[in-house]
Amino acid sequence: MSARKAILQVKGLQTSFFTDDGVIPAVDNIDFSVHEGEVLGIVGESGCGKSVTSLSIMGLVPSPPGKITGGEILFGDKDLTKLSDKEMRKVRGNDVAMIFQEPMTSLNPLFTIGNQLMEAILIHKKDWSKKKARERAIEMLKLVGLPRSEELMKDYPHQLSGGMRQRVMIAMALVCDPKVLIADEPTTALDVTIQAQILALMKDLNERLNTAVLLITHDLGVVAETCERVVVMYAGQIVEEGPVPIIFKDPQHPYTKGLLQSVPDMRFKKQRLYSIPGNVPKPGSISKGCRFAARCEFAFDKCLTENPDLYQTSSVHKTRCFLYQNQEVLAHDRTLIES
Amino acid sequence: MSKLEPKSTNVAPQTDKVAGPWYEAWRSFKKSKIAVVGAGIVLFFIIVALIGPWIAPQGINDQVLANRLLKPSREFWLGTDDFGRDILSRIIHGARISLWVGFFSVIGSVVVGSILGIVAGYYGKWIDTIISRVFDIMLAFPSILLAIAVVSVLGPSLQNALIAIAIINVPNFGRLIRSKVLSIKEEEYITSAKAIGMQDIRILFSHILPNSMAPVIVQGTLAIATAIIEAAALGFLGLGAEAPLPEWGKMLADARVNFINAPWTMIFPGLAIMLTVLGFNLMGDGLRDALDPRMKS
């Protein structure tokens, strides 16, 4: 797994919002990387900074009030945070593409599907003829499993169902063969059955086209189904990171444990569903100590005064919790394992 | 892959005609009878304006002093004025002037207003502040007063009246577009257009502008009605069309002297103004119902 090359590396990313109430760090010093052809999940409750992370990668953080205040986002050898608008536009769609939560509003209601798909192609392939773009668009619609794609080219968004629109969005995102596809809650607005279809489609395309997928979701079920690795975020920080089987079998951070317990288990019908007490703290409201301490059942004195680091507890597993500080593999051993 | 194929039954079977958004709007417009009546009136006056010179029984300035102030009769359907000119002929010619002023002043306001509104709404910050404050200042004047001021500066003529009316309507359209752009730029399809690497200018013109057009069309239709009234008002005040031109407002003004003994000199031009304005208003209301998504159930 570690043999695969990292194509997108986020290093110490910090994105803040400058509001009247002061500077609010929505994403606070996070590191992770997306490897070639993998599906990486980012999970967390609403407001934990997942979406801001994805918008930061795309350079689409609404500004003002948002701004990337630190760190770098490396795509190959390019630092996306340092690119000019023009260079960034070439990256978007071409190298890194994104699909959004709301398929109902992600397409322009005034233009046909074909029109919008071809536009997406011609932005980056300036020397292509209209005919070639059209063929490519139809090919993409077929690829995302939409039947009668020729007729669909002439349809307007309102004539399609939510699931079909999300497929069109995926087609549009993949039309220029990006290396990374960022999917921000792509299935949240869809019915459960359609949700499963879209996830299966994304997984399938990931395998066939070798496009790495960064899947942002609050649904651990989605992660279990589709992702290879997962990053758990809490209040703008990464609290745990590791391969999906390991995290699901042996969650370390109390927050991850809580999340896993809140997934309904069909085997025990009458049981009340577990929920983590309290809410995600407002970003920036906690100045010292572990950000989860107030909601954590294991919290002790140290947790209230010092924020733990992200401890490497095995070659692939990282946890931000003092309980695992002792388990941190010595740097020496770690390098041995990795080499 | 086959298990991924969605059943195509969840798409409503389409008629052979592609149901584009404009076609949909036309369908719901047709449903409102009163709007169709309005459109009929507007169409009637447009046709009259177009073929006016060929259907008018007499010229606009054929003065026959023997025929002064004749009552409506078989020969002069709407009577004659104090120079013995046929009022029907003058009204027919006047349709051309009024519609001309109505259409072109509104087109002028829409073009200038849209550009300013889009720039203000999309770029925001200080550009927005400057443009919006200028609009506020313009709106602080009663519009007819502003029009009079503009005409006094430019000199009274029909063309200057048109320019004045265009100028005073700019802030209405500017504000309308600005607010529409502000809401549309938050739409997800704009973010997703950015996410595929589209340029700002292209997003503005191919995504934001077409999507903000619906209220402009509605407001534009209603503004034509107002512009016609304003042109008539300026004509009435002697600041619009000049002497022999059969501008409806001017005809009203000229009829003041003879109003008591020859009321038809005032009634018919007044009716022409009223009917045209009514037509545009009814049509505008119908368009609003057809184009405004909030009106749809």
pLDDT digits (tens, 9 = 90+) for B126-166: 999 999 999 999 999 888 888 999 999 998 888 999 999 99
Give the H or E element holding residue A233: strand A229-234
Looking at residue B135, what is its pLDDT?
Answer: 94
Looking at residue B15, what is its pLDDT?
Answer: 47
Interface check B201 vs A, CB under 8 A: no
Chain A residues close to B211, C-beta within 8 Å? 108-110
Residues whose CB falls within 8 Å of the CB of residue A20, separated by 6 or more in sequence, listed in order: none
Strand order in the sheet with A96-99: A96-99, A180-184, A212-217, A39-43, A229-234, A237-243, A318-319, A311-312
Residue of B nearest to A56 (CA): B195
Task: Give CA separation, A138 vs A43, A107, B134, in Å.
Answer: 34, 17, 49
> Best of B189, B198, B199 to disrupt the A interface by mutation (most A CBs within 10 Å)?
B189
pLDDT in tens, B108-124: 999 999 999 999 998 88
3-state secondary structure B146-175: HHHHHHHHHCCCHHHHHHHHHHHHHHHHHH
From A281's Cα to the closest Cα of chain B, the distance in A is 26
Interface check B297 vs A, CB under 8 A: no
Give the H or E element holding residue A237: strand A237-243
Residues whose CB falls within 8 Å of the CB of residue A233, separated by 6 or more in sequence, listed in order: A30, A42, A43, A44, A48, A49, A50, A53, A239
- Sign for the CA dihedral angle at A166, A167, A169, A170 comes to positive
Residue A135 has pLDDT above 80, yes or no: yes
Q: Do A160 and B11 touch (CB under 8 A)?
A: yes
3-class SS of residue A269 = coil
3-class SS of residue B34 = helix
pLDDT in tens, B229-246: 888 888 888 888 777 888
Q: Are B69 and B83 in contact (CB under 8 A)?
A: no
pLDDT in tens, A179-218: 899 998 888 878 888 888 888 888 888 888 888 999 999 8
Interface check B197 vs A, CB under 8 A: yes
Looking at residue B3, what is its pLDDT?
Answer: 46
Q: A22: which strand partners? A: A19
Residue B206 has pLDDT above 90, yes or no: no
Identity (one letter) of the amino acid at A216? I
Please give the Cα distance from A45 to A280 (Å, whole number): 7
**pLDDT, average across residues A330-335:** 53
Looking at residue B103, what is its pLDDT?
Answer: 92
The residue to which tokens 């925001």 are assigned: B124
- Of residues A64 and A168, more confidence is placed in A168
Looking at residue B296, what is its pLDDT?
Answer: 47
Looking at residue B117, what is its pLDDT?
Answer: 92
**pLDDT, average across residues B30-59:** 87
Looking at residue B170, what is its pLDDT?
Answer: 94
Q: Do B195 and A93 touch (CB under 8 A)?
A: yes
The residue to which tokens 């430019």 are assigned: B154
Instruction: Tell me which DSSP letter residue A324 carries.
Output: G
Taking alpha carbons only, the member of B47, B43, B49, B167 closest to residue B99 is B49
Residues whose CB falls within 8 Å of the CB of residue B288, separated by 6 or more in sequence, listed in order: B218, B295
The distance from CA B162 to its chain's CA centroid, rounded to whole angstroms, is 12
Please give the Cα distance from A298 to B284 (Å, whole number): 67
Looking at residue A337, what is its pLDDT?
Answer: 55
Interface check A124 vs B, CB under 8 A: yes
Give the H or E element holding residue B278: helix B264-291
Chain B residues close to A158, C-beta within 8 Å? 21
Looking at residue A339, what is its pLDDT?
Answer: 52
Interface check A290 vs B, CB under 8 A: no
The residue to which tokens 């020729």 are assigned: A150
From B206's Cα to the closest Cα of chain A, the distance in A is 10
Looking at residue B1, what is its pLDDT?
Answer: 42
Phi, psi of A67 (to 5 degrees): -160, 140
CATH topology of domain B31-295: MetI-like fold (1.10.3720)
Residue B9 has pLDDT above 80, yes or no: no
Give the H or E element holding residue B111: helix B87-123
Task: Give CA separation, B189 vs A182, A215, B207, in Å.
Answer: 16, 20, 8
3-state secondary structure A180-193: EEEEECCCCCCCHH
Residue B14 has pLDDT above 50, yes or no: no
Taking each helix axis from N to C terminus, what angle separates B87-123 and B213-236, rounded to the nearest 10 degrees? 140
Q: Are A181 and A175 in contact (CB under 8 A)?
A: no
Residues whose CB falls within 8 Å of the CB of residue B271, separated by 6 or more in sequence, listed in order: none
Instruction: Tell me which DSSP letter residue A280 carries.
Output: P
Pairing, β A237-243 against β A229-234: antiparallel
Looking at residue A329, what is its pLDDT?
Answer: 55
Taking each helix axis from N to C terminus, what angle separates B264-291 and B21-31, rounded to the nearest 10 degrees? 130
Pairing, β A78-79 against β A66-75: antiparallel
From A302's Cα to the closest Cα of chain B, the distance in A is 43
Question: How high is the mean pLDDT of chain B?
Answer: 84
What's the complex ipTM?
0.75
The residue to which tokens 């304003």 are assigned: B230
The distance from CA A65 to its chain's CA centroid, rounded to whole angstroms, is 22
Residue A331 has pLDDT above 70, yes or no: no
Interface check B65 vs A, CB under 8 A: no
The distance from CA B26 to its chain's CA centroid, rounded to whole angstroms, is 19
- Of residues A279 and B33, more confidence is placed in B33
The distance from CA B266 to its chain's CA centroid, rounded to whole angstroms, is 24
> Which residue in the set B3, B187, B193 is minimally distant from A105, CB to CB?
B187
pLDDT band at residue B199 using 50, 70 and 90 as cut-offs: confident
pLDDT in tens, A18-28: 888 788 888 88
Give CA torsion, residues A284, A288, A289, A290, to 10 deg.
20
pLDDT in tens, B77-96: 787 887 878 888 889 988 98
**pLDDT, average across residues A266-276:** 72
- Of residues A278 and A239, more confidence is placed in A239
Taking each helix axis from N to C terminus, what angle separates B33-55 and B87-123, rounded to the nearest 10 degrees? 130
> Best of A106, A113, A203 to disrupt the B interface by mutation (most B CBs within 10 Å)?
A106
**pLDDT, average across residues B184-197:** 86
Q: Do A106 and B188 touch (CB under 8 A)?
A: yes
Looking at residue B10, what is its pLDDT?
Answer: 44
Interface size between A and B, measured as CB pairs under 8 A:
101
